[in-house]
Amino acid sequence: MFTFIFLCLYRFSEYYKAFIFILFLKIQLVMATESQNETQSKSQPVLQPLFPKATEILFHTGNTISSLKLLNQPNSSVTEQITTYMSQLLETMKTNIDTKSFQEEKYIKLLPIQDDNQPIADKGAAATASVPPNESEQLTRKDLKFSVKIFLRTLEPEILTHTINTIFTELKESYLESVMISLPNYGSQITLDQFMPLWNVIEDFIDKKKILSAGVCDFMLPLLSDISNAAKHKPFANQINLGVCCSIPEELSKYVKENNIQLLTHSDPIDVLTDSDFQQTIREYGHNYDGLNWRPCSLVRYSCVITNRGIIKSKGFLIYAKRELYMP
């Protein structure tokens, strides 16, 4: 009897090893095919601009939770993630879409082709979703929490308003539980007078119950206290980059405790996506003219969590940029 059980377990382990090996080979084959297609897409010359009249562009990655390309790069930075997803969207546009349709467009949107539960990079791949479809269908909006971090590369309130409205449109949501505002290009140099027009935009969405709570990033004293005193809705949290600020100042720690403000940490770079990185990513898949003069205005990193289980249902990025064209 024991010999029979042992033989059964042995055979099961051998089958399991074989299954894992075959699955590994399939994943490697998919990644190799994607890499070959990407290389071919880059190497093919683009004889004319793909979107010569465009002055605005939006990249929406869709749900990136199962991206095979980044599963192979577990320690990739947020900048590498964004440029990788941009490349995937540009590659798909170049190979699968009639680019002539973009010739007269002023506002280009590069969106995932597939549904919300699978990213564009996994088209044709055997990817496993984090949440089984039958469980996902049973979830209600009350079971979910949407958290958003907006990296704003301008102080224009209109850009912030446009970005938040775009989030609602692309995610098909009517409200967000948490929004963090980051101004990486300005840091400690920003003043209260410069920041309050942006915070007033946030407060307007809070008043309309479209944002339930909002916080700031990398604010020190006295700016944080000045904002809290001047604001109708004070920040619920302040997120500090410990890579820049090695230790949290004692006076800041004391202030947030006394004023019921959460003190969080992050490891995002000072500038998540530079103008040159953005332009170069576009040039790799298009004409040199396509990458001309673009300036990323806002980058959004979002996630949706099943609150009672702490499981990430979806996550992704929105990248919005503008440029000025000097036509002869």
Strands of the chain, DSSP E: 56-60, 107-110, 144-152, 178-182, 214-217, 237-241, 262-266, 295-306, 311-322
Q: In the chain, what percentage of residues exceed pLDDT 70?
A: 73
Region of 310 please: left (phi>0), alpha (psi -120 to 50) or beta.
Answer: left
Q: In the chain, what percentage of residues exceed pLDDT 90?
A: 59
- CA 180 to CA 149: how far, in whole Å? 5
Window from 25-29, 109-113, 165-169, 241-245 with minimum mean pLDDT: 25-29
Q: Residue 326: what pLDDT? A: 77
pTM: 0.80
Window from 18-27, 70-79, 137-146 with minimum mean pLDDT: 18-27
Q: What one-letter code names the amino acid at 276?
A: S
Among candidate residues 295, 309, 281, the one with its CA nearest the CA of residue 88 = 281
* Strand ordering across the sheet containing 56-60: 107-110, 56-60, 311-322, 295-306, 144-152, 178-182, 214-217, 237-241, 262-266
Q: What is the CA radius of gyration of the chain?
A: 23
Tokens standing for residue 318: 């929105």
Taking each helix axis from N to C terminus, what angle separates 78-96 and 275-283, rounded to the nearest 10 degrees?
A: 30
Tokens standing for residue 317: 């990025």
pLDDT digits (tens, 9 = 90+) for 177-195: 999 999 976 766 899 999 9
pLDDT digits (tens, 9 = 90+) for 108-135: 999 986 544 433 333 222 233 345 545 5
Give the C-alpha distances (Å, rounded to integers) separating 241 from 11, 98, 130, 244, 285: 52, 43, 29, 6, 34
The whole-chain average pLDDT of the chain stands at 81
16: which residues sit within 8 A by CB, 6+ positions away?
A: none
pLDDT digits (tens, 9 = 90+) for 162-180: 999 999 999 999 999 999 9
